[in-house]
Structure 1
Amino acid sequence: MRHLLPTTALVAAAALALGACSGGLGSDEASPAATDGVALVEPGTLTVCTNPPFEPFEYEDESGEIVGLDMDIAREVAEDLGVELAVKVTPFDTIQSGTDLDTGTCDIVASGLTITEERQAKFDFSDPYFDADQGLLVPAGSDLSTVESLADKRVGVQLATTGETWATEEGLETVQFEDLGLQVQALTTGQVDAVVNDIAVLGPWIDEGFEVAATFPTGEQYGLGVKKGNTALLEEINSTLVRIAGDGTYEEIYTTHIGTAPDEG
């Protein structure tokens, strides 16, 4: 499994983005005009909607700030635009449905969003920045480790996620939860027998008496989302993704939150 910003693809896609974006970075004016035509929900601020807890991509630290890999990437976009970053916590369903973007709640949605055809019909995605598979979280010592072993078991899934879609397509008995934290709470209390979610977010729970028993390859990739037709902002995001892939910033962000450097092999 590779968790790697696809640098080659981004560089190939960057020519148009770099040509179109002559650089809000370094502007002293905090307004849409200062970002080369990128209109923002709140002038001078790039607003991102996210749905923690989804560590290491978005979660609340000890000070109450929402941090994580996604937030660091969004902050890089804001810095290139020359604006501040504001984070809004919203339900995952209003994120993945495009509602937060359509209602002007935020400029970007960033919440470990897998790029799917269904979501692409609702909003526009950036170039992918992370490869993800599904994982199976179970109590330590459990004999559940395959799809077959989950027959007649209750599997906790996060509402409106690709993990839910995968489990449903596999014919598993699913129980829906609003977020990952509630999934794990249900596993702790025995409400469910196992939890399915993106493999990269399950690691932090290993020290809590659980284990990741299996990885289910799905070929999923994460992207940042913007409102349909918001080409100017999309180009800025892709330009930032190219920059951080090339200057080492992405590797630093990845290593900080994932614990290892991206696998380029």
Structure 2
Amino acid sequence: MSRTAGGRAHPMRFLALLCAAAAGLSLTAGCSSKDEGPGEAAGGVPVVEKGKLTTCTHLPYPPFQFEQDGKVVGFDVALVDLVAKNLKVEQKILDTPFENFKTGAFLNSGECDLAAAGMTITDERKKNVDFSVPYFDATQALLATKKSGVTSLADVKAKGAKLGAQAETTGESYAKSQGFDPVAFESSDAVLNGLRTGQVDAVVIDYPVVQGWLKDKANADAFALGQNIETGEQYGFSVKKGNDKLRAAIDKAITDAKADGTYDKLYQQWIGPLPEGRS
């Protein structure tokens, strides 16, 4: 999936608030002084800040990254923590606009070592960044208000319903490829609010996000899960072009976690039941 920022506080102002909440925690959000400068992690892996593995993300995007009790947590966060542990450093998280991930801007400027943001690997993005091995197989889903009676994109057309999607995402792209002109929302929170307030009758968005929303009884009472849309998407973490040492370290952490069962445990903790055939 491809996500974007918008309608939010400036990242640096957000980070100042998050730093206050995260004081004393091992996982912080851009609270350290930049004066420490770059360094090297275990195995000679270069990092933009000594002793840290700096991750750019875009909040909120549960269950992959979101705030909980003053900390940034989630599936992506937990996987990158494994990388940091192997490199003998601590993960540090910066909340940044998603559009910069597609261009690699924050990686190229030395703001971050990697980007972890529920980001689909695409050929277009590969022109600007290098991706890790895939760490998550993603599908899109249709979520509609129960009163709309919509359960599929065919229903959306037949009933003349209003369709929404997150701007600049693969969900939005898929909807457009099917002949729709979806209302574009600038964050996942805005997508959900659009459904709640009647701006749209249904939305296309990543299935794990829908799973998370429906854990809330109010959402489960108001909305119905419609068709699951197989798009063949896979998520990857991205690094600056040519940063092969870090990319290899990320690949190793993902591969090892899948081999020793850690990946499955984290999947069940943050995403839910394992896909059929893997339980």
TM-score by length of 2: 0.80
Matches within 5 A, 1:211-230: 211-230=224-243
Specify the alignment match of 2:184 in structure 1. 176
| Paired letter, 1:223 | G
Find the partner of 1:33 among 16, 31, 40.
40
Find the aligned partners of 1:215 and 1:205 in 2 and give their Cα distance: 15
Are the structure 2 counterparts of residues 97 and 144 from structure 1 closer, same or farther at C-alpha, using a change threshold of 3 Å?
farther
Aligned with 1:173: secondary structure?
A: coil
Question: Which consecutive unaligned segments of at least 5 residues does structure 2 have?
Answer: 1-36
For 1:211 and 1:194, the matched residues in 2 are separated by 9
Secondary structure of the structure 2 residue equivalent to 1:36: helix
Question: Contact between 1:93 and 1:159, CA under 8 Å: does it hold in 2?
Answer: no
Secondary structure of the residue aligned to 2:148 is coil
In the TM superposition, what whole-angstrom CA distance separates every residue of 1:160-218 from its partner, at most 9, and x where no partner exists? 21111111111112121221101110111111121111111111222322221111111
2:253 aligned to 199, 217, 240, which one?
Answer: 240
Q: 1:48–1:109: 8 Å Cα contact kept in structure 2?
A: yes
Q: Secondary structure at the match of 2:93?
A: strand
Paired positions, count? 235
Q: Match for residue 137 of structure 2?
A: 131
Aligned partners of 1:155 and 1:98: how far apart in 2?
Answer: 30
> Could you say which residue in structure 1 is the equivalent of 2:60?
53
Tell me, yes or no, if structure 1 residue 67 matches structure 2 residue 95.
no
8 Å Cα contact 1:92/1:178 also seen in 2? no
Q: Which residue of 2 aligns with 1:89?
A: 95
Q: In structure 2, what is the equivalent of residue 12 of structure 1?
A: none
| C-alpha spacing 1:31/1:93, structure 2 compared with 1 (3 Å) | closer
CA shift for structure 1 position 141: 4.3
Q: Is the 8 A contact 2:39 2:48 kept in 1?
A: no
For residues 120 and 259 of structure 1, do their structure 2 counterparts lie closer, same or farther at Cα, with a shift above 3 Å needed?
same
CA-atom RMSD, angstroms? 1.7
State the AA in 1 paired with 2:188. Answer: L
Q: Which has the higher contact order (CA 8 A, sep 6+)?
A: 1
Q: Against the structure 1 CA distance between its residues 31 and 89, is the aligned structure 2 distance closer, same or farther, given a 3 Å change threshold?
A: closer
Using the alignment, how far apart are the partners of 1:157 and 1:124 within structure 2?
A: 27
Does residue 108 (structure 1) correspond to residue 114 (structure 2)? The answer is yes
Measure, in 1, the Cα distance between the counterparts of 2:41 and 2:193: 45
- Any residues of structure 2 matched to 1:198-217 within 5 Å, and which? 198-206=206-214, 207=217, 208=219, 209-217=222-230
Report the AA paired with residue 163 of structure 1. Answer: G
Q: Secondary structure at the match of 1:190?
A: coil
CA contact (8 A) 1:205 1:211 kept: no
For the residue of structure 2 that corresponds to 1:39, the secondary structure is strand
Distance 2:276 2:111 in 1: 35
Following TM superposition, the consecutive aligned residue runs of length 4 or more in structure 1 with deviations greater than 6 angstroms are none
* 8 Å contact from structure 2 (residues 75, 266) kept in 1: yes
Counterpart CA distance in 1 for 2:274 and 2:173 is: 30
SS in 2 for 1:195: strand
- Letter matched to residue 43 of structure 1: K
| Cα displacement string for residues 65-117 of structure 1 (whole angstroms, at most 9, x for unaligned residues) | 11100000010000011001011111222223322222222111111111111
How far apart, in 2, do the equivalents of 1:118 and 1:31 lie? Answer: 29
> Residues 157 and 243 of structure 1: is their aligned pair in 2 closer, same or farther, counting only changes over 3 Å?
same
1: CA distance, partners of 2:125 / 2:71: 28
Aligned partner of 1:166 among 165, 174, 178: 174
